[in-house]
Amino acid sequence: MSKKVTDIIEELVSPILEELQLELVDVEYVKEGKDWFVRVYIDSSVGIDIEQCGTVSERLSEKLDDLDPIPHLYFLEVSSPGAERPLKKPKDFEKAIGKQVYIKMYEPIEGEKQFEGVLTSFVEGLVTITYLVKTRKKVITIPYEKVASARLAVTFH
């Protein structure tokens, strides 16, 4: 198969989400134990409810049955990304400005490979975070291409 399964699923689900005015957050195609899972994470500016997940699941399932891009049995799950939603695309970072984030890098910057703090800006491919070291505020700017993974971080005060 020349296209990745996640790309095919993204192509199939995008028109459904557009029609329902929902946003695609992420698509996963993973094996856990002996089972395969297709996970589609969706969201909107006002959140997601179980009925919306069910509608997307039913409509995507029909398209997957028609195209049959996956050669074995799998479980399809459609859900909200949750409070600690991943930040995958530049627009995700732009939406997260002012929020608490957790970022892991491919390689260390200033001796660290992970940072948690407030995302203060995302400009021209640079992610800027303000974080605490003990009681002192520090600011770090990370090139977007060096970010291995990022997500919103829930903090309890």
99: nearest Cα among 126, 123, 122, 124: 122
Pairing of β 136-143 and β 126-133: antiparallel
Choosing among 1.10.3720.10, 3.40.710.10, 3.40.630.30, 3.30.300.70, the CATH entry for 5-79 is 3.30.300.70
27-40 pLDDT, tens digit per residue, is 999 999 999 999 99
Query: What's the one-letter identity of residue 126?
Result: L
The token pair at 114 is 């992970």
Mean pLDDT of all residues belonging to the chain:
92
pTM of the complete model? 0.73
142: nearest Cα among 119, 153, 132, 154: 119
56-73 pLDDT, tens digit per residue, is 999 999 999 999 999 899
Q: In sequence order, which ranges of 1-157 are alpha helices (DSSP H)?
A: 5-20, 50-67, 90-95
The token pair at 57 is 């699941």
The reply to whether CATH 2.30.30.180 applies to domain 90-152 is yes
